[in-house]
Amino acid sequence: MEKVRTLVIGAGITGLATAAALAERGDDDYLVLEADSAIGGYCKTVKKAGFVWDYSGHFFHFKHPDIEAWLRARMQGQDVRNIEKKSFIEFKGQSIDFPFQKNIHQLPQADFIDCLYDLYFANAAKGEAPAAGMTGFKGMLYARFGKSIAEKFLIPYNEKLYATDLGTLDSDAMGRFFPHADLTDIIRNMKVANNATYNAHFTYPAGGAIEYVNALASAVRSDAIRLGEAVIGIDIERKVATTTKGEIQFERFVSSAPFNRLLEMARVPHDPATYSWNKVLVFNLGFDRKGRKDVHWVYYPDRSTCFYRVGFYDNIFDADRLSLYVEIGYARDAVVDAVAMREQVLADLKKNGVITDHELVAEHSVVMDPAYVHITQRSLGEHARIKGELAARGVYPVGRYGGWTYCSIEDNIVEARALVKTFA
């Protein structure tokens, strides 16, 4: 039987970062198995008719200069832009600066007064017991921001995205990615704008997100990445993985596959209802000429518009043709009819003034499934418990989906490097 010290599942950011970290410390006894026919996972890039698209907008927000420098050293010749983000919310035909909760003063007067009034009294009621049914993430939104900010943006937008009852999500389900603001921040923002969020700046390569993936892969032996081979079972006692092509004995098993899939493959007893998620249908659309300038993405809370967000690739490199990604959230079991939705997307782009008489010249679509996992008290508890048990037996679930979490690409690299450091 084939034997390897470290078997890595998935050649996405996390799997490649794990292999690269092993290689860098001179541990060459590793193998990366990738079910797909290409590396990259969700950071793949699609190129069509001169347009460069990812699987939805994939922008890079580095907090660790050493990681950015390591990647950039392996991206010689790439035009990588550092961009100050411009993002807005479409509200009743007006463009409001993001985040909504810090820019209520830009709303029509009646909406502004509603938001300010409810915010004030929510703040005054701090510490009181929440009203019945006001639990989890939804309860946090009402308690912190009041009814109007919650109901005019935060609830409808996040329901379109997560496609679930927000009351079931953990109150910290979005972690550092949620732009918090208290009453003082909001009032101050009315005169001195400070809309900084975790992604106030982002970097993006001309060749698309795959360039960062290629940078990671360049540190991995090419014969140690096997494409088109999926793991379908794991015997944790014997330390043997069954793949679509045979059996492999391992000492350590690092898996970036979705956690619930790992539990099934390893036949770990669990309650499948613990793990829920949404899926996102992404349309990449290229048009014959330019659209709106000075915008990178726009949020759409209005429930009568099918998408929750539209991004403008053409404004990153000042291209002269409109190049969009459009994101639509679905419940995990919902049927995705991409053909029908394509028509709805084009109609809603027109309705919202994103396109007028533009001609569509190239397109691509993909369903990301899972896209956003539903982080609940139960998923957090169960994941932590089972992860501990697996780690004691040399099995390490990692990455956004192995970790059943909300995180960035950089977080994936940080996690992979930290894990490898723990290996003897």
- Give the binding site for ligand FAD (CB under 6 A): 9-15, 33-36, 41-43, 56-60, 230-231, 256-257, 280, 368, 371, 399-401, 407-409, 412
Q: Which is nearer to ligand FAD, 9 or 22 (CB)?
A: 9
Q: Which is nearer to ligand FAD, 33 or 166 (CB)?
A: 33
SS3 351: helix
Whether the bond into 99 is cis, omega within 30 of 0 = yes
Q: Are strands 201-205 and 80-84 parallel, antiparallel or unpaired?
A: antiparallel
User: Which among 145, 178, 149 is positioned nearest to 162, based on CA atoms?
Assistant: 178
| Residue 209 C-beta: closest distance to ligand FAD, Å | 8
| Residue 244 C-beta: closest distance to ligand FAD, Å | 8
| Residue 321 C-beta: closest distance to ligand FAD, Å | 22
Q: Are strands 2-9 and 30-34 parallel, antiparallel or unpaired?
A: parallel
Q: Are 65 and 260 in contact (CB under 8 A)?
A: no
Q: Which is nearer to ligand FAD, 148 or 405 (CB)?
A: 405
| Residue 42 C-beta: closest distance to ligand FAD, Å | 4
User: Which among 226, 214, 216, 219 is positioned nearest to 33, based on CA atoms?
Assistant: 226
SS3 187: helix
Q: Which is nearer to ligand FAD, 73 or 232 (CB)?
A: 232
Q: Which is nearer to ligand FAD, 146 or 258 (CB)?
A: 258
Q: Are strands 323-331 and 45-48 parallel, antiparallel or unpaired?
A: unpaired
Q: What is d(CA 248, CA 241) in angstroms, rounded to the nearest whole number?
A: 5
| Residue 288 C-beta: closest distance to ligand FAD, Å | 26
Q: Which is nearer to ligand FAD, 19 or 386 (CB)?
A: 19
Q: 296-305: b or e for each residue (b if 16 or more CB lie within 10 Å)?
A: bbbbbbbeeb
| Residue 356 C-beta: closest distance to ligand FAD, Å | 27
